[in-house]
Amino acid sequence: MTTPTPGSDPNYPQGGAPQGQPGWGAPQQPQGYQPAPSYSGGPAGYGAPASARPPQVLVAAILGFVVALFALLAALGLFALSTLLGILALFGVLYLALAAVNIWGGVVAIMGNGSSVLKGAGIATAVLALIGLILALTQGSFSFLSLLLVAAGVAIFFLLNQPASQQFFASRGKK
């Protein structure tokens, strides 16, 4: 006895699986299945849904944290060298304060509570690093770290002045 070709006998299944056994195809949805409804917005009575944080704000905050790390390392180095020259302790305190302001500004920006602290910290970082770069060049050397810090400070300010960043903070009633 021969087996009929698929499709020629209504009693013979179309696929390769024997009758009564599940095939390897995609599972079939049960009859009457309806997907769950999706809702947009927040619960009623809680105002408009919060806008998503744009990547410009996130990158600016991360740059603020990186700048804070470098400022903290510079402060520790200046404190270590202050035993040789006492005035370096003053610069160590300045860099320590710069690190604290960059961290504070980054946290405030990520939370969506404003960008002015991080903008100010970025500009202060760029100005101090530019002064350090100019001083290094007058001594006949080049400070690549100072150049990176100038670029990071300017980038923080630039990113926070983008329209997407300004809309993000304006939607929260902040600057």
Q: What is the pLDDT of residues 61-119, one digit of tens each?
A: 999 999 999 999 988 988 998 888 888 888 889 999 999 999 999 999 999 888 899 99
Task: Calculate mean pLDDT across residues 32-55.
Answer: 61
pLDDT value of position 172:
81
Q: 3-state SS of the chain?
A: CCCCCCCCCCCCCCCCCCCCCCCCCCCCCCCCCCCCCCCCCCCCCCCCCCCCCCHHHHHHHHHHHHHHHHHHHHHHHHHHHCCCCCCHHHHHHHHHHHHHHHHHHHHHHHHCCCCHHHHHHHHHHHHHHHHHHHHHHHCCCCCHHHHHHHHHHHHHHHHHCCHHHHHHHHHCCCC
pLDDT tens digits, one per residue of 125-151: 999 889 988 988 998 888 888 899 999
